[in-house]
Structure 1
């Protein structure tokens, strides 16, 4: 794989840590700023709002700029937003800095994802995407638990300072290794209106809708995981980083599976992992008061969530082959619409259902995804950009046999 992909993964690690770290900081932010836990959880939704707005906006503007400029500018803004967030005493200002940081993060990720089809052949694109997204899962494995530990020892602000420092360190290699203009072919910048018309594709819309539902389920539970396992399952707060690390280890394994099989066995992978993901959320909802369930299901659900989510990203990028510069933005928007809706629904469910509410909402969203994946919506097969091995067959989240690669 080109070294550029690993450089981008380092930057995505820092940004992914910021996006997910609040799962371990919500109790501390709630107590320090004097806001309810559910309101503190909306910081994740605020970040998702910035991602949803920033991905298409930055991708559209950055189409005419060298990738090096766009990626470096996004990182600079990201660092500044975290410094401001670490200094503020106002929840409103903190929420605003989260939105600004998210816009920068979204622009960076959208441009990074859009470079993949230009630097690797079609049959290796799923694995290339998994390298970049591996930065996100490493954030879950190492960054989020470390942030939670910092929050426990020195307060939640120390985690923001650490993220700002890591992001600043990533600036130099990103600026040095990203090419000024990575694609000089006649089709390097297709007409923006033509790229937007790609959204009319039923296959693409279906994949994006599934991404919203699956990621909504993931972030709904993950945002409130700290309070679910402490106040709900009775674990000590000092054990929260360990639970988050287990979820992250599962996510790292899941994205690795997606990178290995999404391009050739994607339909089969979704058909098996989708219903298993639903079963896991239902089981955790029923056993929310059990510490054993928390320890067992955290890595399992992390693996299933990111195996399904990573596969959907790969299939969405293939389905958006007519939008080479905006395809990454479409996938980013879909995933972060889920990250926006999930925590809001989970926070709203706490009042009537208690701390089991976020898990119940995750189960409901996963059930909707399985139902949508099982529905026959006509011919929704997205065309791949090149090699037949990269062609994603009809998307399904119900058990099914892969047409090109039948089960033994």
Structure 2
């Protein structure tokens, strides 16, 4: 794999750390800026909304720029947004920096996915796994590290740290990513290519699987303390196991998904569904919860990264917008999954019901896949009958 892929993954690591680190910094931000904890929590929501809206929009605007220019520009804006966030004493300014950072992150990730596919033709799955490995490493090391840094030196230190990690990635993009844009199609052509049923199906499945992942991951800590009985001091171990599983799953899928995507999706998806059901039924068992944290992290990210690779392969005519739509689909899932989990908790069903919601979302993904296969089969049969009649007419 080209060195540029690993350097892009470094930037994705910094961006993933930024996206998730506020879960451990909210109280200190609220205290320092004189706002409520829910207001501080809305900083995370603002980032997610910026990612959803910004991914296809910024990808469309940057379709004619060279990949190196688009990556360098978006990463520069992301870095400067974190510098501004670290310096401000205004909640409104901090909120604005989160939106700007999300837009820049969305633009970078969309172009990075397209670049990964271009740098490794025929190995989209492995290239995607390397890139998304930066996100999983952020879950394992970046987010806990940011929380620890914020605890020791204040929340601003975590923002400074993200900006510093971006510096070598910025230099690497300038030196290692090819400057030429290649013979890329125009925006209108890319928009037409996005209508392909296979691409739309892969994006919808990616949103559902990612929704299932973040539905339970968001409430994994209270599930562990309130239902499993794990002490608060051991919760970081549980989260780290999930992150390690995610990294393992992404890397394993990268080696298998190019040659055997259907076994990864079917087998991995079935195991993922069974795992969420098992967690819902046995959440009171600490050993089972610890094992399933690793297993479900691995399966979730293995299936999710394979779906993204399939989306990129299905969108050969829309290399830039496909990355943007894939990024948006992941973030739609990341936003809707926790909302669905929160709804069942608010409805009085408790934390144990949350893995059941995740199971339902994966089940919905299987239903969508089955419907798509049925439509494809009917279309193929209709085409064969039509072709047969035409051939028969020509023979006569």
TM-score (norm 2): 0.85
2:376 aligned partner: 379
Instruction: Give the aligned partner of residue 175 of structure 2.
Output: 176
Q: SS state of the match for residue 334, structure 1?
A: helix
Separation in structure 1 between the aligned mates of residue 367 and residue 64 of structure 2, nearest angstrom: 40
Distance 1:344 1:83 in 2: 31
| Larger gyration radius, structure 1 or structure 2 | 2
The CA deviation string for residues 35-72 of structure 1, in whole angstroms up to 9 with x for no partner, is 466x7655444322211211112211212222222212
Please say which of residues 23-32 and 296-305 is displaced more in the overlay: 23-32
CA deviations over 1:195-229 (Å, ceiling 9, x no partner): 11122211111111100101111122223333333
Partner of 1:112: 112
Residues 223-244 of structure 1, C-alpha deviations (whole Å, 9 max, x = no match): 3333333455443444333222
Give RMSD over aligned pairs. 2.7
Aligned CA distance change for structure 1 residues 241 and 249 (closer, same or farther; 3 Å): same
Alignment gaps of 5+ in structure 2: 379-396
- Going from structure 1 to structure 2, the CA distance change for 1:149 and 1:279 (only over 3 Å counts) comes to farther
Query: Bigger CA drift: 90-99 or 13-22?
Result: 90-99
Instruction: State whether residues 48 and 335 of structure 2, in contact with CA within 8 Å, keep that contact through their aligned partners in structure 1.
Output: yes
What TM-score do you get using the length of structure 1 for normalisation? 0.83
**Distance in 2 between residues matched to 1:197 and 1:67, nearest whole Å:** 21
Q: What CA distance in whole angstroms lies between the structure 1 residues aligned with 2:289 and 2:87?
A: 34
Gap change, CA 1:148 and 1:224, over 3 Å in 2:
farther
Aligned equivalent of 2:206: 211
Aligned to 1:367: 363
Comparing 193-202 and 111-120, the one that deviates more: 111-120
For the Cα contact (< 8 Å) 1:27–1:227, is it kept in 2? no
Give aligned pairs, total.
375
Corresponding position: 1:273 with 2:268: yes
CA contact (8 A) 2:124 2:312 kept: no
What displacement does 1:323 show?
Answer: 0.9
Q: Secondary structure at the match of 2:267?
A: helix
Q: Is the 8 A contact 1:51 1:333 kept in 2?
A: yes
Q: Would the aligned equivalents of 2:227 and 2:351 in 1 still touch at CA under 8 Å?
A: yes
Instruction: Tell me the residue number matched to 2:381.
Output: none
Say whether 1:223 aligns with 2:218.
yes
> 1:150 Cα shift?
3.0
CA distance in 2, matches of 1:291, 1:273: 24
Structure ranking higher in helix proportion: 2
For the residue of structure 1 that corresponds to 2:194, the secondary structure is helix
Residue number in structure 2 paired with 1:60: 60
Give the 3 Å change call, closer, same or farther, for CA 253–209 of structure 1 in structure 2. same
Secondary structure in structure 2 of the residue aligned to 1:77: helix
Match of 2:315 among 302, 317, 320: 320
- List alignment gaps of at least 5 residues for structure 1: 382-408
Provide the rounded CA distance (Å) in 2 between the counterparts of 1:99 and 1:379.
40
1:357-401: CA deviation from partner (whole Å, max 9, x where unpaired): 5434323222211222233441189xxxxxxxxxxxxxxxxxxxx
Quick one: distance in 2 between partners of 1:377 and 1:23? 42
1:24–1:226 Cα contact (<8 Å) kept: no
Offset at residue 131 of structure 1 (A): 1.5
Cα contact 2:64–2:181 (8 A) shared by 1 = no
